[in-house]
Amino acid sequence: MKKVTAIITTCMLIISTILVSFNMQVMATEAEFYYVPNDPGYKSLSAVLTAIGAQNAWNITKGESVVVSVVDSGVAIHEDLLLLPGYSAISSLLPNQDTQGHGTGVAGVVGAIGDNEIGTLGINWKAKILPVKADNQSGTLLIANIAKGIIWAVDNGARVVNLSLGSLTDSPTLKTAINYANNKGCVVVAAAGNSGKNPVEYPARYPNVIGVGASGNGITREAASNYGEGLDVLAITSYYTTSASGGYSIMSGTSFSAPQVAGLASLLIGLNPELTPEQVKDYIQRGASGNGVRTDQIGYGVINCEKTLQLMLSEMEDTGDIEEIVSNVYEIDEVGGISYIENIEEETTVGTIKNSLALPTKYTIEITNIDGVTLTNSQYAGTGSVIKVKNQAEEIVKNYTAVVKGDITGEGEVNIFDIVRLTSYIFDENEGFIWNKAIEKAGKITESGGEPNIFDIVRLISYCFDGASW
């Protein structure tokens, strides 16, 4: 028995060695692999990263080259940070002069370089940090300087701005700067405050800002973290991060919870640059532990990086894939931004169309008739029906107008839809209209050939309603 045990133990040691050599670790409880970076500070952060789903998120992406601005006390030059040339709102000071050490710590949480065998690591290992110094020599932050810093950052390429600062007083100047950032497609993340009071501070309280509180256990709110109106999500209160001295230290408070969310926002944007600030905020809220339910105590819950990224990727609208799938089943024509599915056989049911298209599960199909009434699977999708492809958010990502085989295009019964389409063709002079051979077909109506004209419509109407011959 001892011999068998020894053999098993030896095998386990060999397996462990192989896993470590590939920088992989197996989670026995979840039966899955996640990437283990070689930064010495990883051990200090393991529990934090697990609590916010960052480790599993790195199976999706280990970093995205997105510009994140830290508007703060400046960001010191550090070997573990990828810094861009910054800006100081105080002309006598430089953006890399961080006497408070606050901004450098915030920057490390966002994007300390991961897997480089030194120091610590941030949420986005490849983030480009754009430092903005907004405090004066005594460490005081003035609203005017913060606002100037935000606008400068946005004008110089920032897609995310982190504001680990706050005030109980609303400011039109600050609000204007944040609105400017949002209108330019920049996500703004701010700390909720550390007084344990209701509500959260400004600018976190603004609806177009992601307000971030702190959690010590990855479940509930830290007592010192502000709550109430404006609280969107929580992140972990303490983080082992970069310091202005060139070393590393543990820093705590909502100031260091907020950049965890800023890092996540930058990963989302890196994977899908077309995302708006509103969409980024929505994904982060829906991906959090509250499963879409908000309370004043925890907002939408603790962030989950992996779930948030997966949610966004599952809903990415790749209409090119849809087009390819549909074109393998039906002919597609597009005119003036309207797409048509042609050559659907008569008496084809809605259910048959859905099954034949067989789109990925992240899409659903809804078919309505000419009057906008949703058709059941057993009903027929006649000419003029609209085939709507929706994503998981119930948003329409693609519309097609159904065209039953026959009608003006070929061997079918002429009806009112032909008149509408032929009228459109003639008076809109739309050569690329749905029927590729419209001129030829229309000419045959009068049996005289030639370009379609008003007489074709008159004769067509007569045929439809009077049963007369040509």
Catalytic (active-site) positions: 72, 102, 255
Tokens 């600018």 correspond to 203
Comparing C-alpha atoms, which of 72, 52, 58 is closest to residue 126? 58
Question: From CA 367, how far away is CA 403, in angstroms rounded?
Answer: 13
Question: From CA 455, how far away is CA 100, in angstroms rounded?
Answer: 83
Tokens 């509930």 correspond to 220
Question: From CA 131, how far away is CA 283, in angstroms rounded?
Answer: 26
Calculate helix-pair angle for 454-466, 438-445, nearest 10 degrees: 60
Question: From CA 219, how far away is CA 201, in angstroms rounded?
Answer: 22
Q: Is 347 exposed, middle or buried (0-12, 13-18, 19+ CB in 10 A)?
A: exposed
Q: Is 22 left (phi over 0), alpha (psi -120 to 50) or beta?
A: alpha
Please, which residues bridge with residue 342 across strands? 331
Comparing C-alpha atoms, which of 188, 242, 178 is closest to residue 68? 188
